[in-house]
Each structure stands twice: as C-alpha cells, then as structure tokens.
Amino acid sequence: MRIYADNAATTRMSRSAIDAMVECMEKEYGNPSSLYTLGQSAKETLERARTQIAAVIGADPKEITFTSGGSEADNQAIRSAALAGRKAGKTHIISTAFEHHAVLHTLKKLETEGFEVTLLPVHEDGLVRPEELEAAIRKDTCLVTVMYANNEIGTVQPITELGAICRAKGVPFHTDAVQAVGHLPIDVKAQNIDMLSASAHKFHGPKGTGFLYVKKGLPLLNLIEGGAQERGKRAGTENVPGIVAMAAALAESAENMERNTAHLIPLRNRLIEGLKRIPHSALNGDAVKRLPGNVNFCFEGIEGESLLLLLDDRGISASSGSACTSGSLDPSHVLLAIGRVHDVAHGSLRLTLGEDTTEEEVDYMIKNITEVVEYLRSFSPVWRDLVSGKHPFIL
Amino acid sequence: MALYSDKVMDHFRNPRNVGVIEDADAVGEVGNAKCGDIMKMYLKIENDTVADVKFETFGCGSAIASSSMATELIKGKKLDEVRELTNKAVAEALDGLPAYKMHCSVLAEEAIKAALDDYYSKHPEKL
Ligand SMILES: Cc1ncc(COP(=O)(O)O)c(C=O)c1O
Ligand SMILES: [Zn+2]
C-alpha cells in the first residue's frame, strides 16, 4: 500500500487543474502584455482566473496580485506594511512564535532594519488569545500578521476576532492563509482581513504559483522591479498556465469544501483516536480547532526521522519536526512554541490527510505507526530510562 | 537521489548488534535528548579484545546506522585498535553520510571512546 499523508507539504494536482494548465499552454501561449489577439486572449484568460480566485475569498479582482507562491506573498505583504509603517513613524510589528519561516525570517530581517517585533505566545493548544493581541497593539504598531492555520499542527486561529481587533485599532492585519485557502471557508471582508497570502500547491494546484490579497487602498510595495505587470506591483511575464490551473484548483476545492470536510474530519478523528492508544503519546495542538486533515503527534522515547524512514518502507509518506529532518540541531520551532520540550519534540510525526484518503488507509497507518514506534522504543536508551524510572515520563 | 547510501539504509533497516549486555565490562553513553541523538554502547572485554558489543540508540537513520557500523568495526578487535576508531572510518564504511549528518558518526566514535574510558577507569592497570 502507498499512502500519501503529507498534504500539508504539498498536494497532488487535480485532474481539472492539470487539464486547464495543459490547455492553456497549448492554446494561450501569447504574452498577456502583447496587443495582438493571441496576447489579449491570454490577458483575458488571466483576468478570468483573477476573478475566479477573488470570488472564492470574497475579494475584488483588483485586490489580487499573483506571486510565485506563499513565501513571496508573505514577503511582499510584510514588507509593504513595514514600509508604510516606517513612513508614518511606526516600526512595531506583532506576529506569533509559530509562523512559517517565510514570515519569521522576514521579520528577523526587519529587526535588523530597525523594526521591533512582538511574537505572541500560542499556548499549549496552539492558539492565539485575542485579548493578548489587543494588549500587545501599540500606537506605533504598523502590522499584525497571524497565520490562519498552522502548517505543522494545523491549529486554526480565531481570525475573525483578531481581524476585528486590528480593524478597531486601525492596524493592518495580514494572515498567511497558505494552509487554509481551499480548505476552510474564507471571506476577507466579513473577517476584517487586510492582506492574505495563498499558495496553489496546497490546494491541488501547481507549485510556484500563489497570490496575495491586499485590501483596496492599502499600499503595496513591489519586490521585483521590471515591467508593468500586475499593475506595476510584480514585474515579470505572468505564469499564465500556473495561474489558470490555480484558479481551476481553487474553484474545485471551494465547490467541494463541505463534502471534503465531512469526509476528512471523521478520518482525522479516527486516526487521532488510534494513535492515542500508543502509550506515552500526545496530540499536538487543539483537538477541535484544527484543519480537517491534520494529525500531529509526539511519541516519547523515539526520534522522528527514523520513524519516517521506517514508515516510508511501509509505504507511508509523512513528515516530522525532528531536528535531524531539518538539518539543524533544534526540533521544530512550532512544537517548542506550544511548550513541547526538546526530548519530546524530536519524536513528532505529522500526517496530513487528503480528499482521497480512505478509512482503510487510516487503519493501515494506525497499525504500522504503532508497530514502528514500539520497535524503535525497543532499542532506545531514552525509552529504557523512562521505563526503568530513571527519568520521569513527560507524556 | 536518495538521502542515504544503500549501506546506511541496510544498517538502519537491519541494525547489527542491537541490544544490551547485562554484565557488560564497559558502558558508554553520549549525546542528549536535546540535540536529538543518544547512543549507548555495551562492551564485553576479554584478553584486551572486544569479545562482544551491543548498542542502543535514540536517533535518526544515520545515528542508528552509525552505531550499527561502529559495533561491526570494533567487534573482535584489540582495544588498541578500537581506540583508533574515528568517525571518518565509520562514515566511510557506510559509503558516506550527508554532510549535515556527520555529527551522528561522531557520536558513534564518542560512544565507543566513552565505553573505553569507563573500562580504563575500572581497570587503570590496563592503560
Ligand atoms: C503556512 C505556510 N506559509 C508559507 C508557505 C510557503 O509557501 P510556498 O511553498 O508556496 O512558497 C507554506 C508552505 O510551505 C506554508 O505552509
Ligand atoms: Zn542524527
């Protein structure tokens, strides 16, 4: 059996997205900036995609800027707000401790450029407290950026409430919604979202394509200088096939969202219940306020990479927040942010289910993960010390 | 390209000399759970020779493979030779490790050195 359980890393392109992409490459190969018919036809195709995408999140097409993906959208959103802030003498930014590196590293860079960054705690459940955001906002705060759903532990933030607080205080609010778009219903107007980042490959579109929503009236800084594409905010000939495929994938995800959610939640809960039966294990992040397909566990006494390799041998593709999978000595900053100590964070496993995951696959995963954890514990000196009482169990 | 060589995967999937020696003459444990790899080596020593060796490892694929390979390299060897074992020899015997995984082989060398230290502290006359 081969099971793909890493849909948070990327997803398989949907049939309709592939078809849309191929058709576009074959027929709409004109440059949207060219004035002859072929070019203008490509331009129309591009604008149709923009309209389709805007509709899914309740935005105006003019508020959508196409980017190379989530990372670029995050960079552009944050840099734009920072520049506007600096011009107004405001250099304080609020975010959270467990953002994606596309956000955290941009903020780190801004710190070296004179900005002050406050990272809100995300607590044991992986959730931001609205009152803590409210208390953190200052007169010189120029941006609040909080991810919609976390890519590792899947927790979904109270975005509407956070947005309302920012709106009331007049602070621009950005959300990295890369893991949420296409999976959760989003309405940027109703939720007071000023800027939102998305990436096509997380919702069955192609890699290397994404978009940034920016509310009308907010300034947008272009990171890439050149031609006048994207109203001068993002130079470079548009990735028309990628964008068309993204629109097709998003339209499909939006249309099937209710059905997909109804399919995924029982499977997710079945997997959580099954893995909970492994002694000294724990679910990471709130059990309910999480993405429909996200399961993330820590297993005490084992290390994540060896778990992944053995699961791969059994046909399961998954991921881990262990240090040795990241190439650094520290385990995932997300797990540390929710208070997992290093010892336990190294033994993490993320399984992210997709629309085609079956109950049979879930049961296969439970059985095989249980066996592999037991096997790795059988020769783990850490596990030995826990069992013998030399060190107390943490989980 | 795969992350690891076939040799690493073989030792990872079928680690040699896994387990514990209850009446070991020497035990060495290195690493810590903070950095993600811990190795424990148990040696049985007879006539200044490693008569038996077993290991336990908490760690990544290359940590497990390095421990396994290290035990093979020292089993039946004179202590003088064992003392000369380097992490490079372990990594080479595994047909190489990715650069950022070399620290796992260092741990294997250190675990064996720690076991030898334990042995010599109990038997200073052997030094
Ligand atoms: C939450 C989050 N933000 C940003 C990104 C980056 O997106 P991309 O790979 O499209 O640059 C990802 C995906 O890796 C993500 O999960
Ligand atoms: Zn390692």
pLDDT at A67 over 90: yes
Share of chain B above pLDDT 90, in %: 87
Euclidean distance between CA atoms B98 and B119, whole angstroms: 32
Q: Which atom of ligand 1 is nearest to the CA of A207?
A: 10
Scan for tokens 């509310």, then name that residue. Answer: A215
Tell me if ipTM is over 0.85: yes
Which tokens go with A34? Answer: 């060219």
Mean pLDDT for all residues in chain A: 97
Determine the residue type at A229.
Q
Check CB contact under 8 Å for A327 and B15: no
Tell me the catalytic residues of A.
324
pLDDT (0 to 100) of residue B127: 79
Q: Give the pLDDT band (50/70/90) at residue A363.
A: very high
- The whole model's pTM is what? 0.96
pLDDT at B1 over 70: no
Considering only CB atoms, A324 lies closest to which of B12, B36, B40, namely B36
* pLDDT tens-digit map of A133-178: 999 999 999 999 999 999 999 999 999 999 999 999 999 999 999 9
Q: Which residue of A has its CA nearest to B41?
A: A381
Q: Where are the alpha helices (DSSP H) in B51-126?
A: 61-74, 79-83, 87-93, 102-122
Q: Which ligand is nearest to the CA of A209?
A: 1
- Cβ of A71 less than 6 Å from ligand 1: yes
Q: Which atom of ligand 1 is nearest to the CA of A200?
A: 10
Cβ atoms < 10 Å from Cβ of A378: 13
Which residue owns the Cα nearest ligand 1 atom 14? A9
Q: Give the pLDDT band (50/70/90) at residue A328.
A: low
pLDDT (0 to 100) of residue A322: 79
Euclidean distance between CA atoms A263 and A4, whole angstroms: 16
* pLDDT tens-digit map of A182-218: 999 999 999 999 999 999 999 999 999 999 999 999 9
pLDDT at A323 over 80: no
**Residue A381 host element (H or E):** helix A381-387
Bridge partners (DSSP) listed for residue A282 = A298
Cβ atoms < 10 Å from Cβ of B78: 13
Q: Give the pLDDT band (50/70/90) at residue B100.
A: confident
Check CB contact under 8 Å for A379 and B37: no
Direct distance between the N- and C-terminal alpha carbons of chain B, in angstroms, rounded to an integer: 46
pLDDT (0 to 100) of residue A337: 97
Ligand 1 centroid from CA A313, angstroms: 27
pLDDT at A325 over 80: no
Determine the residue type at A95.
S
The CATH number for A15-253, chosen from 3.40.50.2300, 3.40.640.10, 3.90.1300.10, 3.90.950.10, is 3.40.640.10
Considering only CB atoms, B60 lies closest to which of A303, A379, A384, namely A303
Name, in order, each residue with C-beta under 8 angstroms of A55's C-beta and a sequence gap of 6 or more: none
Bridge partners (DSSP) listed for residue A213 = A64, A196
pLDDT (0 to 100) of residue A126: 98
Which residue owns the Cα nearest ligand 1 atom 9? A70
Task: Look up the CATH number of domain A3-9+257-388.
Answer: 3.90.1150.10
Ligand 1 centroid from CA B29, angstroms: 39
Q: Which atom of ligand 1 is nearest to the CA of A210?
A: 10
Considering only CB atoms, A379 lies closest to which of B9, B19, B35, namely B19
- CA dihedral defined by A94, A216, A105, A179, rounded to 10 degrees? 90
Chain B: nearest CA to A299, how far in angstroms? 12
pLDDT (0 to 100) of residue A327: 60
Domains of chain B, start order: 6-122 (3.90.1010.10)
Q: Where are the domains of chain A?
A: 3-9+257-388, 15-253
Mean pLDDT for all residues in chain B: 94
Nearest to A330 by CA among A347, A351, A316, A345: A345
